[in-house]
Structure 1
Amino acid sequence: MRTTSAVSHSAIRPVSIVVEPSAFEGVTVVAAKVAADLERITGTAPAVVDAPRAAATPTVVLAATLGRSPLVDELVAAGRLDVADVAGRREVYAVTLVESPFADAPDVERALVVVGSDKRGTIYGLFSLSEQAGVSPLHYWGDVAPQARELVELGETTATREPSVKFRGLFINDEWPCFGTWTSQHFGGFTADMYDHVFELILRLKGNYLWPAMWTSSFALDGPGSLNEELADMYGIVVGASHHEPCLRASEEWDIVRGPDTPYGNEWNYLTNREGLLRYWEDGLKRSGRYEKIVMLGMRGERDSELLGEDAGLQANIDLLKDAITEQRRLVAQHAPGATEMLALYKEVEEYYYGSDTVPGLRGWEGLDGVTLMFCEDNFGFMRSLPATDAERRSAGMYYHFDYHGGPVSYEWMPSTSFERTHDQMSLAFDHGVRDVWVVNLGDLKFNEVPFAFFMAMAYDMDAYGNGTRTAAADFTASWLDATFPAAAPDVRATIGEVLHGYLRLNAMRRPEALNEHVYAAAHFQEADRMLARADAVDAANAAVVAALEALDDDGRTLLAYTSLVGLPARASLNLLRLHVNAAKNAHYARQAKPVANAYAGRVTEAVATDRAIGDEIRELAGGKWTGHEQEAHVGFTGWNEDGSRYPVRHVVEPMGHEPRLSVSRADAVPTYHRQYGRPMEVVVDDFCVAGETAVAIEIANDGVGSLAWTLEGGEDVPWLGVSARSGSAVAQDVVVLTCDRALLSATTQTVRLLVRVGAAQPHQVSTVAVVVSGRAVDTAGLPAGTFLPGRDGVVAIDAQHAAASTSVDGAAFVELPRGGRDGSAMRVLPTTAPAFEVGAPAPTLTYRFLAETTGEYDVDVWQVPTGVVVRGTSLRYTLGGAVVEAVAADVNAGEPGDARWARPVVENIRVTTSRTRFEAGVAELTLGALDPNLVVERIVVRPAGVVLPASALGPRESARVQA
C-alpha cells in the first residue's frame, strides 16, 4: 500500500534483529513477530538478540526508539546516523543502512537501523520491514501467506511524515452472533489472546486506537483480568470506549457490580443515583487511568437509550450532562491526569450540544474546554454536522460506520460502503478539521478488512489519499493488489480489483439487508435484467480469477487469500442479489400468468440453497478458522432487527387448459397480449422514433401446456429492422430482440406490422398478436455538440458529469467524483470548505443542454447522493434556472429513523428533488447552481409536465446526445 516513505535500492539480508534491553517491551515483542514473518518466507527465523555482539553475524537489523537506545545515541554522536527528521515528532520512523556500525562488534559489517521517534514509530518501522519482505498486514485476518523464497532483501526508508490523523482505529461492534461465537470457540472469549490479533492488525496498518467489543464483554475484565489492558499498553494501543461508556467502564460492567447493597447502587440514573455513579466512574478511572487512554465523557441512558427519556425536556438533559461532565472531568484530573477526554455527539447528545433557539446547549460551554468533540455521521456514511468554529476544530474526531445495527435497517453482513463514499465523506470531515480521532465501526471485522485498510491508509496519509487525489480509491487498490497478490499475473490482479469494487458497488447501491423482491423493477427499463447482467459480469470475473489462481503452483495459498478477502464476500453478495432479483422476476411473470414464473421460482430456490452453502463454506474456510462468522442474518430485513425477515415468497403458476397458449409482451412492460378470436391485439414498439434507441425485447410466452410453435411474419424486406428470430418452439418463453439500424431510417415515420402466429392442431385455436414497429430518423443537424435528445414520452435523462458548460467562483467548482454516485459518477463542489453561496450571487454552476420537443412546463428531477447538511441549522439548497430548490430542510433529523426525509434516501441511496420550469421548444439550457457545497449531483431527468416515469429504482438509461 502507498506510503509517504521511499525505499532505496541498496539492501541487506538480515540474519538477526537487535533489540536493546532498554527498548520498550512492545518493540521487543514486535521484533519477534517480524522474525516470524521472515520465517514464513525463508523457513528460518532471524534471531532476536539484545546486543550486536550476541548476533555474531555480519548483518543485523537494529530496532530502536529515540531516547531509549544507547546504540543509536553512539551512532548519532559519531556522525554515523542522522535522526534530525525523526526527533521530536509523533509516530515517525526511518530505516537507514549503516556500514561498520559498532566499534565493539567488529564482526557486524552492516546494520539496517530502524529508529522511531516513539514506541509506535519504531513498531511501524519494524512492520514496514515485513511489508517490504512481502508479508501483508492482513496476513492473519485475510489468510494471506507470503511467497516463499530463500532470501529476503530489505532496504532503506526515508523518514516518514507524522500521521495525518492523531488517533486512528476501529470499533468491534454488533459482535454477536458472529464475532462473539468465533472468539468464544477459538479464544475462550474476548481475551488477550484474541485481542493480540486485533492489536497487531491495527499496528500493521499504522493505527493506534481501539473501541473494544461491548455487547456482552468488558475489556478491562476479560483478559482474563487486566491482561487486555496490559497487552494494549505494551503495544501502545490507545483504548477508548464506545460513545455511551464513560470513564473507562464498559456498559456490561454495570450489571456485574450494580445492586441495592453495593457502593454503586442499582439505578443507571444520575438524578436518583448520582453518588453511586460517581463512585462507579471513579473506580474505573482508578483501575484503568494509568494506561494511555481516551476517556469518554457524558452518559446516555442504560443500554444506549435516551438519557432521561422522551418526556424530559431539553433543558433538563443539558443540565444533567453539564453536572455529570463536570464531575467526570474532576475525577479524570485526579485519577488519569493527562488523558485525552472526549464527548461523542451521537444521536440525541448532538441535540444537547447545539441546544435550541430558547435553550443554550453545551456548545461554547467552558466546561468542555480542552475536550475532544467526536462528531458522528448519520450511521449510513454521510456527514451530518462538522466543526464550524476554531474551538471545535482544535480537537475533533469522527465516528464512522461500515456496520450499523439500528433503524431504518441494519447492515452487518458483507461490506456495503464503497471506497468512493469513504473517500468523499472522510475527506470532507478532514477538510473541516476532523483530524484528532477517526474510529470506524467494523462490526465483526472479518470481511471488512480491505475497506478498513483503505480507511486506515487515508487516516495515515491524507496527502496521498485526501481530496487532492480524486483517484485515491483506484491508487490504493492498485498498490494493495500488487502487495497482496504478487504471485498473480498483472491482468489477474486487475480482474481481482474489478471483482472487489464490482460487488462492493452492487452492495452499496442497496445494502444487502435492505434488498427485497420489490427493489429492482422486474420489467420497467429492464432493470432486473440489467442488475442480473451486472452480477453475471462480476461473477464471470470472479470465476476467471479462481481459474487463474488454481493454476498457480503455490499450494493454494493465493487462492485462499483471494477467497477470504474478496472471492467469498463477492459470491455471497452476488448470490443474494440474484435471489431477490429472480424473486422479482418470478412475481412479475406470475402476475402475467406465465408458467415461466416457475423457472424463476426455481432460481430463487437455488439461490437459497447457495446462500446456505456459502454459510457452510465460511464455517469451513481456512480449516475452520472463521467458524461463527457464517451466522449473520442478512435476508429480507423489514426493520433494524432480523425479526420478521424471510426468504422471498415464491409464486407457482399452474398452466390453464390442455394445449399451448400464446402470450406476447414487451420485456420492459407489464401488459400481456393474447387473443384467439377477432382482430389481433397490438404490441406497440415506437421506441425507434426517438434518438438512441436501437433494441427492444419482445417476450413470446406459452401460458398453456406443451410446446408452443410460433412464427413471426412481416418486415422481411425492411432494411433498418432486424429480428433475432422468426420462429421458435416455446415450452416456457422465448425472447425476440428487434434491432434498428438508425443509419437506414428516413426522416418520415415508417411503420412495420409483425404478426406473431401460432397454429394449433385445430383451426379455431390459431392465435395472432401484432407487433407494430415504428421508426424515424432524428434530425440533429444544426444542434450544438453535447445536446441531449428526448427519449420516449419526451423524457431526457442526463448523467451529471456530462454538463455542456460549468462555472467556478473563487476557485470553487464542480468536480467529477469517479464512481462517486449510486450508479456511476457524481459531481460535487470542491473545495468542500467553500462557504455557502448567496442567492443571486455568483456560484459554481453546471449547465446542461437538451432538445425540448414542445414549448411548455417541464418537471426537472435532480438525483443526488443523499449527503446532508454539515453546518447545523442550515439547509442544503441549489438553484435551477434561477429558482431556489431545498434538497434538505434545516429541520431534517439525519440519523433518526422516524424522519422519512432522511431514512428513505439513505436506504435507497438516492435523493430526488423535483421542480417545475418552463422551456421553449428547441435547444434548451438548464443551469444548476450549488448554494451549499455539500450538494453531490448524480443525474438530471427532464420530463414534460404530467409525464410519470414507470416505477423503478434506477430509472431510464442516459439519453442520446449530439456528439462533437
Structure 2
Amino acid sequence: MFSQPITAFEPGPGYLGLKDLPILTDPNDDEGIHLAVDALACDLASVTGQKPEVWTTVTGRPHVEGLILIGSLPRCRFLSDIQTADQATSPAYNSISGMWESFETSICNSPWPVADRVFVISGSDKRGTIFGVYTLSEQIGVSPWFWWADVAVQPREQVYALPVTVRQGEPSVQYRGIFINDEAPALRDWARDKFGPQFNAEFYTKVFELLLRLKANFLWPAMWSGYPEPGSSFFTDDPANQALADRYGIVVSTSHHEPMQRSMTEWHVANKGLKARWRWDEQNKPVLVEHFKGGAARAKPYESVITLGMRGDTDKALDMDDPVSTMQDIVTTQRKILGDVYGSPENVPQVMALYKEVQSYYEQGLDIPDDVTLLFADDNFGHIRRLPTPEEQQRRGGCGVYYHLEYVGHPRSYKWMNTNSCGKIHQQLTQAFDSGIKKLWIINVGDIKPLEVPLTFALSLAWDIKSIAPEMIPAFYDTFAARTFGSEYSSNIGRLLLNHDRLLALRRLEHIESDTFSILNYNEADDIIQRLTDHEEASSALMDTLPEMHKAAFFQLVHYPLRAARVFVDLHISLAKNQLYGEQRRNTTNAMAMRVLALFDLDHDLTQQFHNSPWTGDKWNHIMKQPRYGFGTNGGDYHTPSRDLVRGLSFVQSRQDSTPIAGQMGVAVEGHIGILPGLANEECCRMQPSRGGRASGLRLPSLSPYGRNSCYFEVYCRGTRPVSWSVEASSYKWLCISPSSGTLESEATQDQRVSLIISDWSRVPAGLCTAIDIGIRSTDGDYEEVHLPVDNRRVPASVSAFVESDGCVSIAVGDVSLSEFQKAFYQHLPYLGRLSSGAISLASRVPDPNTLITAVPHLTYSVFTFTAAASATVTLYFTMALNARADGRPLAYDLIVDNTALKGAPLAGRSHSADLPEGWDTAVQDLVWTRCHAFDMSVAGLHTIRYRPLAQGVILEKIVVDLGGQRQSYLGPPGYSPVQGRPVVRL
C-alpha cells in the first residue's frame, strides 16, 4: 500500500507507456504467475481500454516499442537473456536471488529484436513475482478490493512505467493471512446465494486473488460446523479447493482446533461421532490417528502448514484428567505421522496454536519441537496474551500471532461490521513484531466483507512493518481513500474514515447498551451523538457530489458504516432517554419511544439497502444480516441474537393529567434524574419549590472559569394541557438564560432546554462561590427552583496547573506536550485509546525500566485544588492491554502525589501465566483499565502528581482527581487545558 512508486499517469524522461504492450511470460513458470498475469491483462484493459496480448515467445512476433516481462528468477528463461545482453542497462538480480517473496522492477534495453525496451517484473520466487504483478495493478489504479467492494477503476489514456529500479525485499512477516471464521449467517448465506450450497472453488478464487492482491499468502479456510448440515469443510466441499489454492500460491493450514489438515466437519460427516468420540483416550485414539493420517497424506502434494495439537469437541478445552500429558502424547503422535508421510517431521512447516488453555499447557511444560512455530494468541478482542521470551525468539520454527478482528464468545460477541480502531491494531501488532513475532500473522476476519479497512491495515503492517508509524494513521486512511476513490476525494474520505476510527475506539458497537453513555453528565451521550451525526452528514453531502462510478464503493466502505453506527448508538441513547423521561412522566416519553422504533426500522432499511442497492443490485444480499440488537441480559451471556430486539420501552398515558399536587409543568436539571421523579410528593405543594433533601435533585453542575461555562435545565409538560412558563428575572447580569420563557403544547415531541451561560468571567464578582437560585413559573401556578453553583475562585497568576472545577480535576495526558528530554523516554500515540488527544507510553526503544529504574523520568502534572479532601481519589485510565510478559513480572507503574509514593502498582496481574486477569471481562469492553488510589489532599492549593510506567504496554490516557464532585459517566470528566480562561474540552 505504501510501496515505492513504479508507475505514473503523466509522461516523463525515459518513461515507458504500458498501454497495449504485450506481456511476455515463460510457459514453464509457475501457474500462479500466469494467473496473476491474466489478472493484470484484465486490469490494464480496465484502465487503458485495451487488453494486452500475453506472449510466451519472442519468435515470430511483430516489432513493438516495448514489452512487459514477468517472471521468477528460478524458472523464467527470458530473465537470463536480459541479464546477459546489456550489462549497462540490465538489472542485477543478485539482490533478490534466493530471498523470500521479493521482487524487482526496472526498465532496460531489449535483448530481442522484437522490442526496443522491456519493463521487467522479476521475482525471487513464485509469490515474489505475483506480488510484483499486483503491485503494478494497484499502482495503475486497481484496488485489491475492486471486486469485493465494487471499486471503480479510473480510465486513463496512458499509464507509464518509471525508469527506476525498485527492489522490494523480504516481507516483514513470512506467512500472512486470514481465518474465515464465524461465517454464519452472513457470509455463509451470501456464498450459498452466489456460488452454490458450499464454499466452492468459485468462491475461493475470489478469496485467493484478494489475498494475493493484499500481499498475503496464508489461509485458515471457512470451517463453521453445523447448520446447514453438515457445515463447511474446505477439503471436501469442493475437491478442487486445495489444488486451486496451491496453483494460486496460497498456503493452506487449518485453525487452532482443526489439527492435521482436517476440519471438524469431516469428523462429523464421517460419522466418527457414532463410532468414536473426539477424545484422546485408549478407546478413541486409534480412530483419531487414522483420521490424522488421512489429513497429512492429502496435504502432502501441496504447500501447507500443518496445525498440531487438539482441543475438545466444539472448540473447548480437553476433557482429560491430565491434559498436559495428553497433549504431549497427541503432539508426539502427530509428529510421528508427519515423519511417516513426509520422510521427516521437519520436512513440512508446522504450527502449534497456544490458544486459551493450550498456552497454560505449554507453560506447564508441554514440549513443542524447535522447528514448530509457536502461535501466540490475543484475548479474542485484540489484546495479545503472551509475547515470546528471547529464547523463544530464536526457535527455528519462529513465533506467530493469532489476532481477532471479530469474535463469538465471552463476554460478548462482535461480528456485525468493523468495530476495530487502527491505533489499537498498530500498537499491538508492532509490539508483537518488536518482540520477535515475525513468522506468522493470522487475522480472524469473520465475514471478510465488513472488514476491508482494518484487514488492509493489518496486512500492510505484515508486508512492511515500517510503512506505518503511529502518527501516520491519517496517512493510511488518505492513501486507502486515494487508492479506492482517486486523489480528488482522498482527503475528505480519509478524514471521514479517521473520524469513524476514533469513534470506534470508544467502544465496540455490539458492546453498547442504553446505559453505556451518560445522558445526564458531562453532555457525554449528546456529544457522542453529535460527532456521529456530523460525520454522517458530511458523508451524505460528499456522496451527493461523487460521480456515479464511485457511489457503490463509497456506500459500502464509508457511508453505510458511518450511518449504521450513528443509528445504532442513537437508538440506544434514545432508549435511555425514553426510560428517563418515563420515570419523570414527561409527555415526550412517547415521542422518544417512537423515535426508538423509527431508528429500529431505519437500521433494517439500511441493511436492506446494502442487500439490494441501486448500484449493485442484490450482489451483497445477506452480507449484513447479522442481528445486533437484543443481547442477553445475563452478563455472562455472550451469544449473538437470533433476531433483533428492542426491550424496555416506556410509555405514559397521554390522555391523563398528573395529580394536582404534582402539577403539569416539570423541571429537570442536567446531571440528576430528580428526587422522587414522577411520584407524588405528599409533603409539598406544586406552588412551592423542592426544598431540603429534595433540593439536590435540582442542583446543576458547577460553572467555573477552569471548567464549564454553561449548563442547562429542561422544562417539560406532564399533562393534557399546554404549559406556558417563564424564568424569574435574574439579578445577575453576567448570567445569560436562554430562552427565558416559552410554551409547551401537550403533544409536543421535544421539551424546552434552557441554557445557563457565563461568557465573560471578568464580570463575575471575584471569589464568588455560591449557589444561585433560579425560579421557573407557569401560568397555571406551578413553581420550581433550580440551583446553579458558580465558582469564581482563582488561582494565583504565577501558577500553571490543571485546576479543580465541579469537584474534580481531569487531565487528558495526550494534550500535554512532551519536552525534548522526555521524548527520549516517552512517545505520544495520537490515535490510540478513547480520547481524541491519544495516549502516552514508553518509547519503543526504551529498555524495560525494571532494569533501568532510575533512567526513566517521571511525568509530572501540577494540579490546583480549592476543596480540601482527606481522601481524594486519583483514577488513572490506561489503554486496555494484557500482561504479555513471559517472565511473569506484572505490568506496573509508580504514582507519587505530593510526598506520598505508590511504588510498583500493578496494572493487570494474573493468578498464573495463562489466566485472564480479574476484571478483564469489563475492561475488554470498556477498552480501558481504570485504577483508583486514595491520597491525602486535605490542604487545598497546589499539588504535584508524578507518574512513571514500569513496562512496555502500560499506556496512560487520562488522570482524574476526584475531590468529591466526580459524576458517573463512561469516559469520565472531560479533560481541560491548564490555562486560565475558557479551556479546551477533549472527549
Could you state the TM-score of these two structures normalised by the residue count of structure 2? 0.89
1:527 corresponds to? 524
My pick for the range that moved more, 680-689 or 841-850, is: 680-689
SS in 1 for 2:347: coil
Contact 1:393–1:432 (CA under 8 A) maintained in structure 2: no
2:419 corresponds to? 416
SS in 2 for 1:637: coil
Contact 2:252–2:303 (CA under 8 A) maintained in structure 1: yes
Distance 1:270 1:3, change over 3 A: farther
SS in 2 for 1:181: helix
Paired amino acid for 2:481: L
Superimposed CA distance per residue, residues 486-531 of structure 1 (whole angstroms, 9 cap, x where no aligned partner):
1x63xx4323223323334333422222221121122122222122
Paired amino acid for 2:936: R
My pick for the range that moved more, 513-522 or 267-276, is: 267-276
Contact 1:52–1:60 (CA under 8 A) maintained in structure 2: no
**Structure 2 residue 100 is matched with structure 1 residue 90:** yes
Contact 2:252–2:304 (CA under 8 A) maintained in structure 1: yes
Residue in structure 2 matching 1:496, options 490, 493, 496: 493
Following TM superposition, by how much is the alpha carbon of 1:143 offset from its aligned partner in structure 2, in angstroms?
A: 0.8
SS in 2 for 1:815: strand
1:168 corresponds to? 176
SS in 2 for 1:687: coil
Q: Percent identity?
A: 28
In the aligned structure 2, how far is the partner of 1:325 from the partner of 1:722? 78
Superimposed CA distance per residue, residues 529-587 of structure 1 (whole angstroms, 9 cap, x where no aligned partner):
122112111111211221221xx3xxx12111111212112212221111111111111
Contact 1:278–1:327 (CA under 8 A) maintained in structure 2: no
Residue in structure 2 matching 1:886, options 872, 894, 906: 906
**Structure 2 residue 552 is matched with structure 1 residue 560:** yes
1:605 corresponds to? 597
Distance 1:271 1:422, change over 3 A: farther
Distance 1:799 1:315, change over 3 A: same
Paired amino acid for 1:306: A
Following TM superposition, by how much is the alpha carbon of 1:709 offset from its aligned partner in structure 2, in angstroms?
A: 1.0
In the aligned structure 2, how far is the partner of 1:893 from the partner of 1:570? 39
1:137 corresponds to? 144
Contact 1:178–1:629 (CA under 8 A) maintained in structure 2: yes
2:258 corresponds to? 245
**Structure 2 residue 43 is matched with structure 1 residue 28:** no
2:985 corresponds to? none
In the aligned structure 2, how far is the partner of 1:842 from the partner of 1:107? 67
Contact 1:400–1:438 (CA under 8 A) maintained in structure 2: yes
Following TM superposition, by how much is the alpha carbon of 1:780 offset from its aligned partner in structure 2, in angstroms?
A: 2.8
Q: What are the equivalent positions in structure 2 for 1:235-384 lying under 5 Å apart?
A: 235-259=248-272, 265=276, 267-308=278-319, 312-313=321-322, 315-331=324-340, 333-334=342-343, 338-355=347-364, 361-362=365-366, 365=367, 367-384=368-385
Following TM superposition, by how much is the alpha carbon of 1:419 offset from its aligned partner in structure 2, in angstroms?
A: 0.5
**Structure 2 residue 57 is matched with structure 1 residue 51:** yes
Paired amino acid for 2:734: W
1:187 corresponds to? 195
Contact 1:814–1:844 (CA under 8 A) maintained in structure 2: no
1:580 corresponds to? 572
Following TM superposition, by how much is the alpha carbon of 1:72 offset from its aligned partner in structure 2, in angstroms?
A: 1.0
My pick for the range that moved more, 13-22 or 598-607, is: 13-22
2:228 corresponds to? none
In the aligned structure 2, how far is the partner of 1:537 from the partner of 1:894? 43
2:826 corresponds to? 814
Distance 1:208 1:934, change over 3 A: same
Paired amino acid for 1:13: L
In the aligned structure 2, how far is the partner of 1:596 from the partner of 1:832? 57
In the aligned structure 1, how far is the partner of 2:256 from the partner of 2:247? 25
SS in 1 for 2:757: strand
SS in 2 for 1:857: strand
Paired amino acid for 2:536: D
Following TM superposition, by how much is the alpha carbon of 1:213 offset from its aligned partner in structure 2, in angstroms?
A: 0.5
2:949 corresponds to? 930
Q: What are the equivalent positions in structure 2 for 1:883-962 lying under 5 Å apart?
A: 883-884=902-903, 885-891=905-911, 900-919=918-937, 920-944=939-963, 947=964, 949-962=966-979
Following TM superposition, by how much is the alpha carbon of 1:258 offset from its aligned partner in structure 2, in angstroms?
A: 4.1
Contact 2:423–2:470 (CA under 8 A) maintained in structure 1: no
Q: What are the equivalent positions in structure 2 for 1:91-240 lying under 5 Å apart?
A: 91-99=101-109, 101-103=110-112, 106-156=113-163, 158-188=166-196, 189-216=198-225, 219-222=233-236, 224-225=238-239, 227-240=240-253
Superimposed CA distance per residue, residues 751-802 of structure 1 (whole angstroms, 9 cap, x where no aligned partner):
6543211113xxxxx01222344534332333433x1010112x11111224
Distance 1:162 1:584, change over 3 A: same
Contact 2:405–2:443 (CA under 8 A) maintained in structure 1: yes
**Structure 2 residue 742 is matched with structure 1 residue 728:** yes
Contact 1:400–1:440 (CA under 8 A) maintained in structure 2: yes
Contact 2:706–2:980 (CA under 8 A) maintained in structure 1: no
**Unaligned runs of at least 5 residues, structure 1:** 356-360, 761-765
Q: Name the count of aligned residue pairs.
A: 924
In the aligned structure 1, how far is the partner of 2:716 from the partner of 2:951? 52
In the aligned structure 2, how far is the partner of 1:592 from the partner of 1:33? 64
Following TM superposition, by how much is the alpha carbon of 1:369 offset from its aligned partner in structure 2, in angstroms?
A: 1.4
**Structure 2 residue 723 is matched with structure 1 residue 708:** yes
Contact 2:377–2:401 (CA under 8 A) maintained in structure 1: yes
SS in 1 for 2:742: strand
Q: What are the equivalent positions in structure 2 for 1:789-804 lying under 5 Å apart?
A: 789-793=803-807, 795-803=808-816
Contact 1:583–1:650 (CA under 8 A) maintained in structure 2: yes
Paired amino acid for 1:608: F
Following TM superposition, by how much is the alpha carbon of 1:813 offset from its aligned partner in structure 2, in angstroms?
A: 2.2
Distance 1:471 1:722, change over 3 A: same
**Structure 2 residue 624 is matched with structure 1 residue 630:** yes
**Unaligned runs of at least 5 residues, structure 2:** 226-230, 678-683, 982-987
**Structure 2 residue 762 is matched with structure 1 residue 743:** yes
**Structure 2 residue 846 is matched with structure 1 residue 829:** no
Contact 2:399–2:440 (CA under 8 A) maintained in structure 1: yes
In the aligned structure 2, how far is the partner of 1:232 from the partner of 1:258? 27
Contact 1:887–1:913 (CA under 8 A) maintained in structure 2: yes
**Structure 2 residue 775 is matched with structure 1 residue 755:** yes
Contact 1:753–1:770 (CA under 8 A) maintained in structure 2: yes
Contact 2:25–2:70 (CA under 8 A) maintained in structure 1: yes
Q: CA RMSD in A?
A: 2.6
Paired amino acid for 2:102: V
Contact 1:209–1:237 (CA under 8 A) maintained in structure 2: yes
Distance 1:344 1:948, change over 3 A: farther
In the aligned structure 2, how far is the partner of 1:319 from the partner of 1:198? 35
Paired amino acid for 1:463: K
SS in 2 for 1:245: coil
SS in 2 for 1:688: coil
Following TM superposition, by how much is the alpha carbon of 1:323 offset from its aligned partner in structure 2, in angstroms?
A: 3.7
Contact 1:17–1:49 (CA under 8 A) maintained in structure 2: yes
In the aligned structure 2, how far is the partner of 1:953 from the partner of 1:94? 51
Following TM superposition, by how much is the alpha carbon of 1:477 offset from its aligned partner in structure 2, in angstroms?
A: 1.3
Contact 2:713–2:754 (CA under 8 A) maintained in structure 1: yes
1:763 corresponds to? none
Residue in structure 1 matching 2:542, options 542, 545, 551: 545
Distance 1:960 1:327, change over 3 A: same
Distance 1:260 1:684, change over 3 A: closer
My pick for the range that moved more, 840-849 or 515-524, is: 840-849
Contact 2:220–2:254 (CA under 8 A) maintained in structure 1: yes
Distance 1:195 1:83, change over 3 A: same
1:647 corresponds to? 646
Contact 1:47–1:55 (CA under 8 A) maintained in structure 2: no
In the aligned structure 2, how far is the partner of 1:949 from the partner of 1:918? 17
Superimposed CA distance per residue, residues 576-609 of structure 1 (whole angstroms, 9 cap, x where no aligned partner):
1111111111111111111222221111111110
Following TM superposition, by how much is the alpha carbon of 1:296 offset from its aligned partner in structure 2, in angstroms?
A: 0.6
Contact 2:222–2:234 (CA under 8 A) maintained in structure 1: no
In the aligned structure 2, how far is the partner of 1:857 from the partner of 1:432? 41
